[in-house]
Structure 1
Amino acid sequence: MATPTSSDGVEPAGPGPAVAPALVALRCLVALVLLMASGGVINGTIYASMASFFAVGREIATCANALAFVLLAVVALRRPSLLDGRAVTAAVAVAVVAGALCMAAGVSLRNPPLLLAGLLCRSVSSAWVTGMFTVALSTLPTGRGVLLVTAGGAVLSGAAGLLIPAGCSVAVACAILVACTLVPLALVQGIADPSLACIRRGGGIAMRDLKGFAPFAPLVLCMFLMAVASGYAIAFNQQNDAPVVNLAGDAIVAVVFVGLLAASPRKSEDLLFTLSVLLVVAGYLVAPYELVSAGGFANALLGAGRDCFHLLLWILLAFVGRRNLFMLLPVVGFVRAASSLGTDVGAIVGHATNRLIASDPQIASIIASVMLFGFVAVLWVCFRRFSFTDAVNEVRLVTSPEIEGIGSRIDDACRILGKRCGLTPRETEILVLLAKGRDGKFVAEKYVLSYQTVKTHIKHLYAKLDVHSRQELINLVDQTQAAMAADAAKDERAEG
């Protein structure tokens, strides 16, 4: 099973960040540490506190997380104009705070509907933050830089978890969750914004490249298998309804990280996939021996296997983003949805194993063996000839001239609308900027106008175009571009 060669040297398929690569790496590293630490808080405190009166809420929340990622993928495919970074981030920030308040109140009052509302808010915000982080990560120019960020995040998140007070109250846990979501958003927002603006201008390029998603089906399946192992590790031998905490997994990842830094790029990627598979197999093998005494080594091995695979996954996603930015969020959405569903399946099996340990440990042991056989069998059947290299290299490369062409098509569509609807030259210029995702403050700064004057221009052009919102304006420009493309195709057929 081959893995991709180093992605170093691949030019980004979108605009580069306005921040130095070293600072981008540092901000992404801090964001990833906080995001991963928040997972420990939700599993160790929130889910543990609700287990006695709303245990099924854990599975419902994980399924909601999968749906949120699917929604992100669908929006990125069909309505990329909705991916307004600042607007969505503002809405998500409100959802994060509201969700934390609902979770705290839901646990305190033992109210499942209120608790579920908070968990749903978290699912939506988690999908957006993950998408923003991945877009920011893809702006790093080399695969080695991505490895430094993601491996460092995996190692340091374990240390960050130790700083969280053991047995902290739900209110404190919810406050930590808010910080672990809003701070990463603030860190990656400015890095991801130029790329999001480029995606919005793309007008559904990824939707026209749907055949390019076929090579990623095995990756989605592989992510599902690894997530099943991760979910099983989270639930297996839980203590007080909280996952077993064992730093051995972090130590394994740290050793792998140091080894990868000394390896060649190609060898490091080969090792990542091989090590992730071997660690998961070892975890399943050890699990039957820990049915009575929860040493946590099975959990550590399974978790380390998951983390090693995640390192490879981040490198792949960053490479996809540099090769074809427009496909990045759809791939992220579907892969992470598979991860959430796999985690749910693994957790259900893990909880079932825990219930059987006291009454029938032999069946519990058989379940671990079946999990191992299924993992190895699917990998053997589906991944013997699969090459991650081929999958990523089959992604259509979007070049800078094509991206620049997107902007010129928007300019042409806006000029046509301006003539058709009687816009003044200044209003047409503002229309172009609005269609490219800029806001009124940017327009005011670019043309050295007062913000009030810009608002008046926008009000007039809205009236002339007969639109009532930014989204309607963008839709109108998209329709004009589609009509232009149809006319051009008709002319080509006539000439042929």
Structure 2
Amino acid sequence: MSESGRATLSVLRQGSTLRCIVPFILFAVAGFMLNASVYSHVSSYCGIAREIATFVSAAVFFALFGASMVKPSLIDRRLLTTVAVGCLLTAAVALEFGLMLQVPWATIVGLVCLSVASAWAATLVACALVSLPTAGAALASIAAGVALGEVAVVIHPALPYNIGAIEVLLCNLLVVVLMHPCAGTLLGEISSSEAPASLELSNPESFLHPSHGLFACVLLFSVATGYGLTLGEVDNAPASFGISAPMVVLAVLWMIISGSRDREDTLFSFCVLLVTGGLVIAPFMFYSDLSSANVLIRIGVRCFEMLVWLVVVAVGRRNPLALLPTFGLVRSLAALGTDIGAVAGHTTNNLVGTNADVAAMVAECVLFLFVALMWVGFRKFSFSAAICGIVSMGGVGYNEASGEKGAMNRVISAGEGLYGPVSREVPVAGEGAASVAAEDEPSQATIEERCRVIGQAHGLTEREIEVFAFLARGRNGQFLMDHYVVSRNTVKSHIKHIYAKLGVHSQQELIDRVEHGE
């Protein structure tokens, strides 16, 4: 076993790590009961309820992405936790009424409220994972949680819809209660920080842009998730996939004990092969009781889910302000893709009994699109390289008056991200960073003179030298937009050219160059 494997296994005994494993088990059980008990009952009188609830989940996560990028002060932990608990109580009443009496509107209200609460519960889990003291603890929590969650699903007995609904609600409530204190400090500092949309202008390599390949990959796999979940349903419940548990456990053990630097990309290739295999044999399973296609797809998407969690947490450990935007967009696309895949799965099921040729054509279209898009877009895509490309912005929560570290500083100064070393602890290059970066400088004129000398030596234009000086004094992108009365794209273009000519990747690196007169 590698040294990293032994270190990862050792942290499993830590209390904080064990606490972060529990939500994955609870989410897995809740998801299983929701699909196998609640949705299977609801489909008999309101089949569209599942798609509506999933779409609302996508909308909630997209709202999280937007709020955390533009106005993080809206991410109020106490308020949103109160809203989540209120939604769970509302869902309990609405589902009790809607499921028992088969009232469509009450059922939809209950499932929508459940989606909102579940979204906030997952957000708390992401923040708690990033707040763990070491990268090994985060890796152990995610890997062990996914594996144990799959085992819990396999051994969990089928329950009546009313008991299943109660269990789903309790699982989400327990996650909120467990994670609320763990995520508190980090969420508090994120909500009081400068807007990432502003910081991203001067620190473009500290955030994953929405056009990044990760998000397209998540969307594709989520379509496969929805398709595999609904394909060949038995009594409107997902097909059995008991053999998936040992396979997922083996994949998790390999992730933990492997010392390979590209193990994440190897796992990704494994996921692609499994999903492709499941889609290939899907048409042959239409008239049999076998669920081989579902099992292969299930194993692939579960391993991919683990990989995405690892990626999101790795991004958050390198730049905590990128955590919620990345997580929100990932989960929004995941929910949207699942909805699309579920529609394709339902369409296939409906056609099997009437026109098997058309049903097979739908299945092969899904296969072709998955393989073609993976081949065209992700032949050279590397998860490890994508994460290592995130440039750390440093500690956001640093209190200059008291000299104390906040949660964000502890994340940055932990020394290691999940995918390699992170940068040393430095202040964020925003308004508050100016005094730290320039505290040893005799005057603003000295900064401007240094910027002019460095700028002329590297071929900067007069306007670029002016922008360079503002950035060196800690000014952000929003300040430049207001000062020059120009668009976001214009400022972004100036900063991009300056960074390219100077050979830097973040505003902090730029400030360091001016400090050292390089």
**TM-score category, normalised to shorter length:** 0.7 to 0.9
Query: CA offsets per residue over residues 413-460 of structure 1, 9 Å max, x none?
Result: xxxxxxxxxxxxxxxxxxxxxxxxxxxxxxxxxxxxxxxxxxxxxxxx
Residue 126 (structure 1) aligned with residue 118 (structure 2) = yes
State the distance in 1 between where 2:96 and 2:232 align.
26
Q: Which residue of 2 aligns with 1:53?
A: 45
Q: 1:171 aligns with which of 156, 162, 184?
A: 162
Deviation at 1:52, TM superposition (A): 1.4
Q: Give unpaired runs (5+ residues) of structure 1.
A: 1-5, 10-18, 409-481, 491-496
Aligned residue type for 1:122: L
Match of residue 158 from structure 1: 150
Cα distance change of structure 1 residues 279 and 101 upon mapping to structure 2, 3 Å threshold: same
Q: Distance in 1 between matches of 2:213 and 2:400?
A: 31
Range with greater deviation from structure 2 (228-237 or 381-390): 381-390
Match of 2:177 among 157, 162, 186: 186
Any unmatched runs of 5+ in structure 2? 403-474, 484-518
> Which structure has the highest helix share of the two?
1
SS class of match (1:213): coil
1:337 equivalent to 2:329? Answer no
2:62 partner amino acid = V
The structural deviation recorded for 1:141 is: 4.5
Pick aligned residue for 2:95 from 94, 103, 109: 103
- The CA distance in 2 between the partners of 1:335 and 1:57, in whole Å, is 23
Partners of 1:154 and 1:250 within 8 A in 2: no
Q: Is the contact between residue 138 and residue 317 of structure 1 (CA under 8 Å) also seen in structure 2?
A: no
Native 8 Å contact 2:12 2:18 kept in 1: no
Equivalence for 1:269: 264
Going from structure 1 to structure 2, the CA distance change for 1:259 and 1:91 (only over 3 Å counts) comes to same
Rate the CA distance shift 1:96–1:407 in 2: closer, same or farther, 3 A: farther
* Residues 25, 149 of structure 1: 8 Å contact kept: yes
Q: Which amino acid aligns with 2:288?
A: S
Give yes or no for the alignment of 1:371 onto 2:363.
Answer: no
Alpha-carbon distance in 1 for matches of 2:278, 2:400: 49
Q: Is the 8 A contact 1:144 1:265 kept in 2?
A: no
CA separation in 1, counterparts of 2:244 and 2:222?
Answer: 16
* Residue 397 (structure 2) aligned to one of 391, 400, 403: 403
CA distance, structure 2, for counterparts of residue 294 and residue 74 of structure 1: 45
Query: What letter matches 1:404 in structure 2?
Result: Y
Aligned partners of 2:244, 2:282: CA distance in 1, in Å? 15
Query: What amino acid does structure 2 have at the position aligned with 1:209?
Result: E
Q: Which residue of 2 aligns with 1:204?
A: 195
1:384 to 379, 384, 394: 379
- Worse overlay, 364-373 or 374-383: 364-373
What CA distance in whole angstroms lies between the structure 2 residues aligned with 1:307 and 1:147? Answer: 15
Tell me if structure 2 keeps the 8 A contact 1:70–1:337. Answer: yes
Q: Alignment partner for residue 23 of structure 2, among 11, 26, 31?
A: 31
**Preserved CA contact (<8 Å) 2:19 2:178:** yes
In structure 2, do the counterparts of structure 1 residues 379 and 406 end up closer, same or farther at CA, with 3 Å as the change threshold? farther
Change (3 A) 1:364 1:94: same
**Taking structure 1 as reference, are residues 258 and 126 closer, same or farther at Cα in structure 2, changes over 3 Å only?**
same
CA displacement, residues 159-178 of structure 1 (integer Å, 9 cap, x when unaligned): 32356442x23321121112
3-state DSSP of counterpart to 1:54: coil
What is the DSSP-based 3-state SS (H/G/I as helix, E as strand, rest coil) of the residue aligned with 2:246? helix
Query: What are the within-5 Å matches in structure 2 for residues 250-261 of structure 1?
Result: 250-261=245-256
* Aligned partner (choices 290, 297, 311) of residue 316 of structure 1: 311
Q: 1:162 to 1:278 in 2, by over 3 A?
A: closer
Judged with a 3 Å threshold, the aligned counterparts in structure 2 of structure 1 residues 407 and 220 are, in CA distance, closer, same or farther, namely farther
| Structure 1 residues 132-147: aligned runs within 5 Å | 132-147=124-139
Instruction: State the alpha-carbon separation in 1 of the partners of residues 12 and 271 from structure 2.
Output: 32
Give the Cα separation in 2 of the matches to 1:27 and 1:127: 19
Aligned partner of 2:357 among 362, 365, 368 = 362
- Within a 5 Å distance, the mapping from 1:108-119 to structure 2 comes to 108-119=100-111
Q: Following the alignment from structure 2 to structure 1, what is the Cα–Cα distance between the partners of residues 198 and 260? A: 32
Kindly indicate whether the alpha-carbon contact (under 8 Å) linking 2:95 and 2:106 is maintained by their aligned counterparts in 1: yes
Give 1:364 deviation, angstroms.
1.6
TM-score (structure 1 length as normaliser): 0.75
Is the 2:143–2:256 contact (alpha carbons within 8 Å) kept by the matching residues of 1? Answer: no
Q: Which residue of 1 aligns with 2:444?
A: none
Query: What is the one-letter code of the residue matched to 1:223?
Result: V
Partner AA of 1:320 in structure 2:
V
Equivalence for 2:59: 67
Q: Are 2:323 and 1:325 equivalent residues in the alignment?
A: no
Return the alpha-carbon distance in structure 1 between the equivalents of residues 179 and 198 of structure 2: 26
Task: Quickly say closer, same or farther: Cα 1:486–1:146, change in 2 above 3 A.
Answer: closer
- The CA deviation at 1:368 is 1.8
Q: Secondary structure at the match of 2:228?
A: helix
Are 1:201 and 1:407, in contact at CA under 8 Å, matched by a contact in 2? no
Count of residue pairs brought into register by the alignment: 401
**Superposition CA RMSD, Å:** 2.9
